[in-house]
Amino acid sequence: MQRAASANPFCDGRRVSKGDRILRIIVTGGAGFIGSHVVDAYMAEGHDVLVLDSLWEQGGGRRANVPERASFVHMDIRDENVSRIFSEFKPEVVNHHAAQHSVAISTRDPIYDAQVNVVGLLNVLENSVKAGVRKVLFASSGATFGNPERLPITDDTPQQPTSPYGITKMVAEHYLRYYRSEKGLDFTALRYGNVYGPRQDPNGEAGVIAIFAAAFLRHEGVRIDWDGEQTRDYVYAADVARANVAALERGAGGRYVIGTGVKTSVNSIYRALVGASGFDAPVTHAPRRPGDARDAQFDASRARRDLAWEPSTPFLDGLQATYDYFKKAAIPR
Ligand SMILES: NC(=O)c1ccc[n+]([C@@H]2O[C@H](COP(=O)([O-])OP(=O)(O)OC[C@H]3O[C@@H](n4cnc5c(N)ncnc54)[C@H](O)[C@@H]3O)[C@@H](O)[C@H]2O)c1
């Protein structure tokens, strides 16, 4: 942890140029893929950011993702010392991105999933109340909806999660509602579609764009399950980060679907990467994975209305930027 000494050892008392007060914000999971884009966006707005992250070996977190000017605490969200960090930093807002983030791991080890995604969340919420935090922003998921009968998914679509991960994310939304009504801790939950962009872990079991981009750059083949015509709603990480900026002051007590409304198939991702790289990666076909939905598509009208948010990155631009990032970065193995 590096910060100048003052009444608050973490805060240097800067003000942002437009006269707004700097917020002290703890971003849990801020060394990870999405969390680090949120940290970048908050730093760009002039806020004072502390990242709390365990750099979990099965997650996408890397110390190098955290900008130098942000404070960094290497700690598990379940640790009892979280209380000390919260009471010293005195955050006004907590942005909670730390999680067991994988559907596949949650099905193999639902107990671990619940320990991090439920008990870890509760440790963050209890300490938020004690430290007088005004608001918690939460990274929820389209996985809370399961395989809905109708598309697009809206904020009124019934939540029927089909994995332990989707269940713990849904439970987390209920805890947030409880803490708001009973303890006065405000929240906004953002239910992401499939987020993609620079810094996504290409070695995980999910994140097809990062996995494919890395394979193309290594001149390796890719595996396409089912017939490749299954679609997802891919939303660019920088657009997601802007939703997290908007939710600092808007969307009190709200839960919002964050997606583009555009369905993109695995085959079209493959073709776009052939175009970006000039390499015809060999394809192996595999059967549909159990539980895989055919299509996903999100209608973010409520976020547009309440958060004044909309995605601004066309898919092919985001894909090119992601590919260019992996080309420049040493791809972590
Ligand atoms: N990637 C997506 O498409 C997507 C979609 C919906 C929701 N989300 C949610 O967004 C958040 C970020 O996901 P991501 O894709 O950036 O994953 P990520 O693995 O890159 O980021 C998660 C971060 O949390 C940290 N972490 C994990 N367990 C922790 C613990 N016990 N204590 C402290 N830190 C811990 C990891 O080290 C990592 O830095 C997660 O909450 C995830 O569930 C992601």
CA 77/CA 96 separation, integer angstroms: 10
Do the domain assignments include residue 186? yes
Do the domain assignments include residue 157? yes
Do the domain assignments include residue 327? no
Ligand 1 atom at minimal distance to the Cα of residue 96: 41
pLDDT per position as a tens digit, 179-207: 999 999 999 999 999 999 999 999 888 89
Q: How many domains does the chain have?
A: 1
Cα of 104 from ligand 1 centre, angstroms: 14
Do the domain assignments include residue 41? yes
CA 304/CA 308 separation, integer angstroms: 5
**Other Cβ atoms within 10 Å of 301 Cβ, number:** 15
pLDDT per position as a tens digit, 8-29: 555 444 444 445 789 999 999 9
Cα of 63 from ligand 1 centre, angstroms: 14
- Per the model's pLDDT, the better-predicted residue between 291 and 194 turns out to be 194
Cα of 58 from ligand 1 centre, angstroms: 10
Among candidates 128, 145, 238, 113, which has minimal Cα distance to 184? Answer: 128
Contact 298, 258 (CB under 8 A): yes
CATH of the domain at 72: 3.40.50.720
CA 66/CA 111 separation, integer angstroms: 29
CA 200/CA 118 separation, integer angstroms: 24
Domain with 166 in it: 24-195+235-260+297-312
pLDDT per position as a tens digit, 144-190: 999 999 999 999 999 999 999 999 999 999 999 999 999 999 999 99
**The pLDDT value given to residue 289:** 86
Ligand 1 atom at minimal distance to the Cα of residue 34: 16
Cα of 18 from ligand 1 centre, angstroms: 32
Backbone angles phi, psi at 145, to 5 degrees: -90, -15
Task: Provide the whole-model pTM.
Answer: 0.94
Active site residue 42: no
Question: To the nearest whole number, what is the mean pLDDT of the chain?
Answer: 93
Do the domain assignments include residue 171? yes
Contact 261, 300 (CB under 8 A): yes
CA 220/CA 307 separation, integer angstroms: 42
pLDDT per position as a tens digit, 24-66: 999 999 999 999 999 999 999 999 999 999 999 999 999 999 9
Ligand 1 pocket by C-beta < 6 Å: which residues?
28-29, 31-35, 53-56, 59-61, 76-78, 97-99, 101, 116, 120, 139, 141, 192, 194-195, 201
What residue's CA is closest to ligand 1, atom 43?
A: 101
Top mutation candidate among 28, 34, 140, 256 for ligand 1, by most atoms within 8 Å of CB: 34
Candidate list 165, 192, 234, 236, residue with the active-site label: 165
Residue 247 CB contacts under 8 Å (≥ 6 apart), including other chains? 137, 188, 190, 256, 307
Backbone angles phi, psi at 137, to 5 degrees: -105, 135
Do the domain assignments include residue 167? yes
Do the domain assignments include residue 213? no
Do the domain assignments include residue 47? yes
